[in-house]
Structure 1
């Protein structure tokens, strides 16, 4: 995502904030920004600018603002940011078709088996706590969807470098050996099935 993608969305979000919304956000930002600077803030865009200056907001760093919007019960605006992140993915920043297919299979197996331990895997994969908290807020009761979201965020962070072997290694480092075995077994079955189809042709 670039600034030219983010800034128009920030302006739209600013326009849709009520004065009460803005006051609540300023209250939540008091430790990040400071009372003196916050007193000068009269619009959402001015607040966003201060967050940018402090390294709390940027094209690839929207988690803090997303959390603020969710905390003031404006999940509709938080979703605008999340949607922008999703749209910003470029096929050039993704693995090739074969690797993507393997990652999709691994995601399905892991989501079915990970359960409440998704945070542990997320940390092992290098995702920040604020990102994990954002994922949790999106799917607070559906563990399978939470795991899918977790792996989607990891794949996004890795771009074209995402490999299924990294997932399997992280699972084993977390002692989730049974899930790692299931991923490997499913991949082997798919591979054997593909070979059978090729030979039959």
Structure 2
């Protein structure tokens, strides 16, 4: 995501925050931002600037702000930030068409078979707990959607390096051998 796109999304989020919600965000950030600086913050934009200066927010590091927005019950704004990040980064640096087709097949099989142990796979694929929690909150009751979102985030993080072989290795490392076998069978039938 370009700096202009990122700042545009932050501006839009700032405009949608009420004064009470801004106060809640400031409260959650009190350990990171000194009291004197907190008193000067009267807009979301100023808060976002301070978070950027302290290394907690950038175009490729939105997880912490997404988590804060979820905490103040603004899932819609968290989703807006996540979606803009996904749309900006997802099309740029992707595997070739054949590998994308294989990854799509693998995603469908894994979403159908994985179940409640999706966090274990997410950690094995290198996603951090903040990202996993954000995914969980977006789809609290739909395991298959959680797994699809998990694999989408993994693919985004890997870019052109995303491979079905890596997914199968991660499944086997988590002892999800049956699911790994199902993925291999589905790919062989392709």
* TM-aligned CA deviation for residue 90 of structure 1: 5.1
Q: Kindly name which structure, 1 or 2, has the bigger radius of gyration based on alpha carbons.
A: 1
Separation in 2 of the partners of 1:69 and 1:92? 27
Which deviations, in whole Å up to 9, do the C-alpha atoms of 1:13-47 show, x marking residues without a partner? 11221110110111111122232321111111110
Contact 2:90 2:156 survives alignment (8 Å): no
Give 2:11's aligned residue.
11
TM-score (norm. length: structure 1): 0.91
Matched, 1:28 2:13: no
CA–CA distance in structure 2, aligned partners of residues 176 and 35 of structure 1: 49
Displacement of 1:119 in angstroms is 0.5
Corresponding residue for residue 124 of structure 1: 124
Matches of 2:50 and 2:15 in 1, distance apart?
17
Q: TM-score, normalised by structure 2?
A: 0.96
Q: Which runs of 5+ in 1 are unaligned?
A: 191-201
- Structure 2: 5+ residue stretches without partners: none
1: CA distance, partners of 2:18 / 2:140: 27
Q: CA RMSD in A?
A: 1.1
Matched, 1:184 2:184: yes
